[in-house]
Chains A and B, each alone.
Chain A
């Protein structure tokens, strides 16, 4: 009985050590992955900043104005002026649809000449 207990304890120590080492390796691996991800995030942020700067540069008002002038033929973009504002009551609502009576409607009593 006692020997069995000893063997059991010994085996469980081996088992626990194995488990602990495996967990340790897993943690190390996860940390390395996190580090890599952080590096990737940093790189992505840097790229994002460059893209944002580029977006801002391409959308600068001067350039947009020049582009709209160059492409006036096609786009017909004009400056935003006060006279372009409208009022709701300046817009005519579409007329309600009129019932189309040009085609006769078939009735179930058609051809019935009873009083």
Chain B
């Protein structure tokens, strides 16, 4: 660029000659130069503003356009970010303690009809009635030819049935996918599992909700997608459960009982390893609740948890344990059990009106003396007895994780008099479930700690608060062992397992009140094994058993529940991995030489 000098020499000289002020020329030139500079910078600033404006416009336009597309377009899941999203079934499996499946899901189909799309509705109805004998042909014809636009035909189809329906070739018959709950073991542990049914139903899917048992108790957890299909691990052992149910069913048949229940519980963890109630049902096809008769006669009724019975002499050990705990007696303290003994106007009798005379505390338990136990109960007093039974859990329903457990609320006397205190000490006047008895026996078995029965697999012992001293628990265990070796439960001996336990035979109260049946009993045998270091507690209860092999029918637990329990222990103890402990037999020559 050519710069114009501020004082061009020619013009200065010219001005000097004319006598003008040459500074004016300089000022003039300076002004012109400043004006030029100003114009240039304005143009530049305007240009910059324009660029900036365009940039802002573009930015806003892009943002606006993006917002518009987001608002107007269909939402879609970003394909790249869902890493490892596993496709899981809508309900988690239930497995036993060794991971064997107890409940799982299966893909199946439901069948529905659009009558308006049907070509030969009557033929379709006929064919359907042929494939599914339980469907009524007339009803189907009425549904298919009427005004209805949508008819559910069946909720579940097997693949064979589906093919058969396909083969009808009717375009108005349609299939919808269904996920159904399957219990592959059939009736095994039916009362624990309960069952499931369809909730909200649509054409493309249906909700599966638990209708009873653990399925209902853990319904939310099982359906929680956050589980990602992790199975629910139970404490049940399928093998033991199966053996228990088998022996119990056999025993129930032999003893002509109308029902039976058994509970096997780990004494330290409170895990219920197997629990059975007979008669049972198939959770795959859960029967409808009974509309008539007593609910207790329905196979749905869980005798082990819901059934509250007077458990008879099995309670005597609690009175003895508490009396020893309170230092009122020692195992060798002598108690006079001679008649008469009257409490509140009622005579306290013995089985078959026997008179045992003087008995030590240990013998009171071994011979199952009512009067001996009654005297200990009177020494203990009402308040302390109540408190003790409360800590053992006899005042509340058991906290087992099935919905039915809430229903097993023990029946307590409305007024707890001295007479109640005495009768309860030998198991009359207080009704509790076999599971209550199992957890109370577990407290004796584990050295005096309360345990909560649970159906979930535990990783270690879960001792609750101490309810009795180690001494009282140990002496009680010795007494229970003696009941089997020289007492009422002599059939209960299983070589190698040192069974300890107490029998209990209670007359059944009449349903409509007014006393007890003469010839209907609840026979219970509560055991723990091995008695010197108990690992498991087993309760077996038979409802109305009668053993008819002798001359007279025999109903006491010693003749009914005890042999069944002994057989059961012989079957399940090896399965539990308990090694029998007895003097070694002759040397076996197992190696070929």
Chain A interface (Cβ < 8 Å from any Cβ of B): 27, 31, 34-35, 38, 41-42, 45-46, 49-50, 52-57, 59-62, 65, 79-87, 89-95
Q: Which of B45-53, B97-105, B218-226 contacts A (4 or more CB under 8 A)?
A: B97-105
Smallest CB separation, A20 vs chain B (Å): 16
Q: Is the CB of A53 within 8 A of B591?
A: no
Q: Is the CB of A80 within 8 A of B105?
A: no
Contacts of A84 in B (CB 8 A): 574
14 CB < 8 A contacts A-B:
A31-B79, A31-B80, A34-B79, A49-B89, A50-B106, A55-B101, A61-B242, A81-B570, A82-B497, A82-B580, A84-B574, A92-B588, A92-B589, A92-B591
Q: Is the CB of A53 within 8 A of B182?
A: yes
CA distance A56 to B101 in the complex (A): 6
Number of interface residues of B (CB under 8 A): 42
The interface bits of chain B over 83-102 (1 if a CB of A lies within 8 angstroms of the residue's CB, else 0) are: 00111110000000000110
Nearest to B88 among chain A residues (CB) is A45
Q: Is the CB of B106 within 8 A of A85?
A: no
Asked if A38 meets B87 with Cβ closer than 8 Å, knowing A49-B105, A53-B101, A79-B571, the reply is yes
B186 interface residue per 8 A CB criterion: yes
Q: Is the CB of A90 within 8 A of B106?
A: no
Contacts of A41 in B (CB 8 A): 86-87
Residue from B79, B85, B184, B580 within 8 A of A53 (CB atoms): B184
B328 interface residue per 8 A CB criterion: no
Nearest to B102 among chain A residues (CB) is A56
CA distance A13 to B6 in the complex (A): 50
Contacts of A56 in B (CB 8 A): 100-101, 104, 184-185
Contacts of A53 in B (CB 8 A): 101, 104-106, 182, 184
Contacts of A79 in B (CB 8 A): 571
Contacts of A95 in B (CB 8 A): 593
CA distance A33 to B421 in the complex (A): 75
Q: Is the CB of B591 within 8 A of A91?
A: yes
Smallest CB separation, B254 vs chain A (Å): 17
B378 interface residue per 8 A CB criterion: no
Contacts of A94 in B (CB 8 A): 591, 593
CA distance A61 to B237 in the complex (A): 11
Q: Is the CB of A62 within 8 A of B587?
A: no
**Chain B CB within 10 Å, residue with most, of A35, A82, A89, A94:** A82
Asked if A60 meets B185 with Cβ closer than 8 Å, knowing A50-B107, A82-B570, A91-B588, the reply is yes
Contacts of B497 in A (CB 8 A): 82
Contacts of A34 in B (CB 8 A): 79
Q: Which of B97-122 contact A (CB under 8 A)?
A: 100-101, 104-107
Q: Is the CB of A61 within 8 A of B579?
A: no
B496 interface residue per 8 A CB criterion: yes
CA distance A52 to B100 in the complex (A): 10
B575 interface residue per 8 A CB criterion: yes
Nearest to A28 among chain B residues (CB) is B79
Nearest to A84 among chain B residues (CB) is B574
Contacts of A27 in B (CB 8 A): 80
CA distance A51 to B375 in the complex (A): 63
Residue from A54, A82, A90 within 8 A of B588 (CB atoms): A90
Contacts of A46 in B (CB 8 A): 107
Contacts of B234 in A (CB 8 A): none
Smallest CB separation, A27 vs chain B (Å): 8
Asked if A60 meets B79 with Cβ closer than 8 Å, knowing A49-B104, A82-B580, A85-B579, the reply is no
The interface bits of chain B over 494-515 (1 if a CB of A lies within 8 angstroms of the residue's CB, else 0) are: 1111000000000000000000
B590 interface residue per 8 A CB criterion: yes
Contacts of A83 in B (CB 8 A): 495-496, 580
CA distance A64 to B506 in the complex (A): 38
Contacts of A89 in B (CB 8 A): 584, 587
Q: Is the CB of B590 within 8 A of A61?
A: no
Residue from B496, B579, B587 within 8 A of A92 (CB atoms): B587
Smallest CB separation, B263 vs chain A (Å): 19
CA distance A41 to B497 in the complex (A): 50
Q: Is the CB of A82 within 8 A of B495?
A: yes
Asked if A92 meets B590 with Cβ closer than 8 Å, knowing A53-B104, A56-B101, A80-B575, the reply is yes
Residue from B88, B107, B184 within 8 A of A57 (CB atoms): B184
Q: Which of B231-268 contact A (CB under 8 A)?
A: 238-239, 242-243, 246
Q: Is the CB of B105 within 8 A of A42?
A: no
**Chain B CB within 10 Å, residue with most, of A27, A49, A52, A90:** A49
Contacts of B568 in A (CB 8 A): none
Residue from B105, B239, B575, B580 within 8 A of A85 (CB atoms): B580
CA distance A9 to B585 in the complex (A): 97
Q: Is the CB of A85 within 8 A of B591?
A: no
CA distance A34 to B80 in the complex (A): 9
B12 interface residue per 8 A CB criterion: no
Contacts of B574 in A (CB 8 A): 80-82, 84-85
